[in-house]
Amino acid sequence: MKLLPMLGLTHGNRSAVTCALKCNNACAHPVPNQSTEPSFREIASAQLSRRRLLAAAGTLAAGVAAGSGALPLEPAAAKPKGGAKSTDTVGSGALEFEPIDPVPFETDAVTVPAGYTWNPILRWGDPLFHNSPDFDPSHPNAEAQELQFGYNNDYTDIIVTDRAGREGLLVCNHEYTNRDIMFEPTASDAEELEVIRTMIAAHGFSIVELERKAKRRNWKYVRGAELNRRITGNTEFVFDGPAAGVALLQTAADPEGMFPHGTLGNCSGGTTPWGTILSGEENFNGYFKADPNAVGSARYGLSDADTSYAFEKVDPRFDATTADYANEPHRFGWVVEIDPSDPTSTPKKHTALGRFKHEAANVRVDDEGNVAVYMGDDERFDYLYKFVAKRKYVEGARKHNLKLLSEGDLYVAKFTGEQRPDNANLGTGEWIALTENGESVVPGMSTEEVLVFTRLAADKLGATPMDRPEDVEPNPITGKVYVACTNNTDRGVKAGKPGPDAANPRKANKDGHIVELTEHKNQADATTFSWDLFLVCGDPDDAGTYFGGYDGPVAPISCPDNVAFDSKGNLWISTDGAPSALKLADGLFRVPLTGDERGKVAQFLAVPNQAETCGPVIHDADGSVFVAVQHPGEDGSWDDQQSYFPDYVAAGSRPSRGEWRGPRPAIVQVTKKRN
Ligand code: FEO
Ligand code: CA
Ligand code: CA
């Protein structure tokens, strides 16, 4: 079975395998945004079965403070204090470490600071339920995979659920699968179809209870625990919001247009102040065959070619060239919301937040209770979005808060500013409304069309094409919003596409940058903002890099992807692409945002060969950092594995019965060594 037709043909910052599987060779296809809109520079200046208590600070997403109520998983003081004065946002947080040196790419190891150790909590295939079969990749089986930890973990959170800090919940998604290193070549069509079904089952989410002996110790997962849950490419969801049930979401199998099956391509996400998990359905197009001439196909990268995943061989809904399933691709590309406290709850897809290649979704509640959700559309020259909920957050009112993302307005960002030689740019911006009072304000498009074809709507409004906006996350201490633009090697290179501008300052931007955005009056529902460049990444010796104005030595960093904050408000950045851009392993970095050390990037860890650093989760006050190690050894094959993470049972050694000799994506906890 040939899965990788583009092998050797990529020109972005990823391996050929990642390009084929993760984003359907997006770089090899025309840039989907064919909008002729000039860049702003050219325009402007050119229910719970068990009662538990939430634990103390830092347990529910970054910066969440002490809770006092019983579960549901909603902390009493979850609201980030927009505009609050920070007295100590400088320095190392509660986690002291000696930065590691950059690690050469192809190093198949987890590298952590001196005095620290790492430990895998959950690996692909680990049995989650009492009736789960043990991991056995020599016998691919979809039913078994539905009961085991999925593949390629990306967004991750660790939620401490009791005051003693001994019970917790791990939530993470499973973005995509890599058939060639997961399973050996099959001898029959029937066996291959079972492999395909197994891959569908390896997508989605895992929710798994954790336990440990005491605070600051390693977590272990609890097999068969009450809240353990798998959500897969088959699980029933329900559409929510203004476009739920509309004609564009209806199929032969679901004439009501209400109940899509499965979630795919989940990349990063966010944990809400009301205790639910959001995640973005990102490169969904790669799972479908579709009419290339249908509305939106070109803009969303859909084609009628056979897919690498071949899901269409086991489920007709993945072939959208048929009349019955022409709308099936419209049922993906949304932000999903999952309530981890209730394993019987039906997860939602929120139409009010628009449909695009959602990287993530992070919530900010300001001092007045206004709720904003920040979202990036991860594609070259695509846009930054914000959703503002119609209703305000009400602390402790869980039923009310669970409906906050059902109604509100969607905005897209337009940046204005002057490019400066040192790349320390400063400008203003505007959130342009796509809807007002929940209804379309885009000329010629209905509300339904704006929400299902959000990219087409934003094209009409003069939004600023960005360099692949990935995680977009508000600082829980200051309210400032950090936009990780991972890279865009086509900027200023591709004919007819925008050149550098102040907010995307580099031609052929291989290393990416981070924009720091401040809402007007620090209000989540503001329609204008100011912004600055915080980092222009790369080798610090390269001209054009910028590290928040910091003059001293900093670590090289490339391709920022997911971000998180520690208890002091320092930014932590995980990367995806440094092997191609800098010949260095991807890793996790910490950088202060204020004070004399603003911009002083230090590296905390590096991930194994060909892996991307996901998560991250920073529990500095508890002495731990967690990362999701995604796609280790992705360029390998069954007979030529290129990573042995995390168990490092290498080829040539004597495996015990049933032992696995290849990589297993896993969630890793990094803690200080105990003396
Ligand atoms: Fe799945 Fe945009 O990274
Ligand atoms: Ca990502
Ligand atoms: Ca994040």
DSSP structure string for 603-629: EEEE--TT-EEEEEEEEGGGTEEEEEE
- Give pLDDT tens digits for 219-273: 999 999 999 999 999 999 999 999 999 999 999 999 999 999 999 999 999 999 9
| Cα 668 to ligand 1 centroid, rounded to whole Å | 19
Please tell me the distance from the alpha carbon of residue 145 to that of residue 202, in angstroms, as a whole number.
6
Which amino acid appears at position 286 of this protein?
A: G
| Ramachandran region, residue 338 (left: φ > 0; alpha: ψ -120 to 50; beta: rest) | beta
| Cα 182 to ligand 3 centroid, rounded to whole Å | 27
If residue 16 lies in a helix (H) or strand (E), which one and from where to where? helix 16-22
pTM exceeding 0.85? yes
Domain for residue 504, yes or no? yes
Question: What are the φ and ψ backbone dihedral angles of 375, each rounded to 5 degrees?
Answer: -145, 135
Q: Of ligand 1's atoms, which has the minimum distance to the CA of residue 23?
A: 1
CB atoms within 10 A of CB 101: 10
Which amino acid appears at position 629 of this protein?
A: V
Please report which ligand is nearest the Cα atom of 561: 2
Distance of CA 521 to the CA centre of its chain: 28
| Cα 185 to ligand 1 centroid, rounded to whole Å | 28
Domain for residue 322, yes or no? no
Number of domains within the chain: 2
Q: Of ligand 1's atoms, which has the minimum distance to the CA of residue 576?
A: 3
- Residue 4's pLDDT band (boundaries 50, 70, 90)? very low
- Give pLDDT tens digits for 339-390: 999 999 999 999 999 999 999 999 999 999 999 999 999 999 999 999 999 9
pLDDT over 60 (residue 59):
no
Q: Of ligand 1's atoms, which has the minimum distance to the CA of residue 268?
A: 1
Domain for residue 383, yes or no? yes
Query: Please, how many CA atoms are within 13 Å of residue 392, restricted to the half-sphere of its CB?
Result: 9
Tell me which residue has its CA closest to atom 3 in ligand 1: 267
Range of the domain at 494: 255-282+333-394+408-536
Domain boundary among 517, 536, 555: 536
Please report which ligand is nearest the Cα atom of 270: 3
- Give pLDDT tens digits for 79-130: 333 333 333 333 456 799 999 999 999 999 999 999 999 999 999 999 999 9
Please tell me the distance from the alpha carbon of residue 504 to that of residue 314, in angstroms, as a whole number.
43
- Residue 419's pLDDT band (boundaries 50, 70, 90)? confident
DSSP state of 104: B
Q: Of ligand 1's atoms, which has the minimum distance to the CA of residue 470?
A: 2
| Cα 422 to ligand 3 centroid, rounded to whole Å | 28
Q: Of ligand 1's atoms, which has the minimum distance to the CA of residue 486?
A: 2
Domain boundary among 492, 517, 536: 536
pLDDT of the residue at 651: 61
pLDDT over 50 (residue 670):
yes
Please report which ligand is nearest the Cα atom of 359: 1
- Residue 421's pLDDT band (boundaries 50, 70, 90)? confident
Which residues, other chains included, contact 517 with Cβ-Cβ below 8 Å and sequence gap of 6+?
Answer: 429, 480, 481, 482, 483, 529, 530, 531
| Cα 565 to ligand 3 centroid, rounded to whole Å | 8
Q: Of ligand 1's atoms, which has the minimum distance to the CA of residue 175?
A: 1
Give the binding-site residues of ligand 1, using a 6 Å CB cut-off.
175, 267, 282, 359, 378, 470, 561
Please tell me the distance from the alpha carbon of residue 19 to that of residue 286, in angstroms, as a whole number.
10
Average pLDDT over residues 503-510: 96
pLDDT of the residue at 297: 98
| Cα 60 to ligand 1 centroid, rounded to whole Å | 23
Residues whose beta carbons lie less than 5 angstroms from ion ligand 3: 471, 473, 562, 564
Please report which ligand is nearest the Cα atom of 284: 1
pLDDT of the residue at 73: 52
Domain for residue 509, yes or no? yes
pLDDT of the residue at 632: 98
pLDDT over 70 (residue 11):
no
Domain for residue 179, yes or no? no
Name the E strands within 68-203: 116-123, 153-160, 167-174
**Residues forming a β-bridge with 518:** 530
Average pLDDT, the chain: 89
| Cα 492 to ligand 2 centroid, rounded to whole Å | 23
- Residue 77's pLDDT band (boundaries 50, 70, 90)? very low
Domain for residue 501, yes or no? yes
pLDDT over 50 (residue 282):
yes
Which residues, other chains included, contact 254 with Cβ-Cβ below 8 Å and sequence gap of 6+?
Answer: 260
Tell me which residue has its CA closest to atom 1 in ligand 1: 267
Q: Of ligand 1's atoms, which has the minimum distance to the CA of residue 282?
A: 1
Please tell me the distance from the alpha carbon of residue 303 to that of residue 375, in angstroms, as a whole number.
25
Q: 592 near 390, Cβ under 8 Å?
A: no
Helices (H), 314-434: 398-401
| H helix and E strand count, the chain | 10, 34
| Cα 295 to ligand 2 centroid, rounded to whole Å | 27
Domain for residue 154, yes or no? no
pLDDT of the residue at 37: 44
- Give pLDDT tens digits for 131-177: 999 999 989 999 999 999 999 999 999 999 999 999 999 999 999 99
| Cα 268 to ligand 3 centroid, rounded to whole Å | 7
Domain for residue 376, yes or no? yes
- Give pLDDT tens digits for 290-335: 999 999 999 999 999 999 999 999 999 999 999 999 999 999 999 9
Buried b / exposed e along 571-587 (16+ C-beta atoms within 10 A): bbbbbbbbbbbbebbbb
Domain boundary among 536, 557, 591: 536
Please report which ligand is nearest the Cα atom of 564: 3
Three-class SS state of 384: strand
For the CA atoms of 156, 162, 166, 172, what is the dihedral angle to 10 degrees? -10
If residue 145 lies in a helix (H) or strand (E), which one and from where to where? helix 142-145
| Cα 267 to ligand 2 centroid, rounded to whole Å | 5
Q: Of ligand 1's atoms, which has the minimum distance to the CA of residue 378?
A: 2
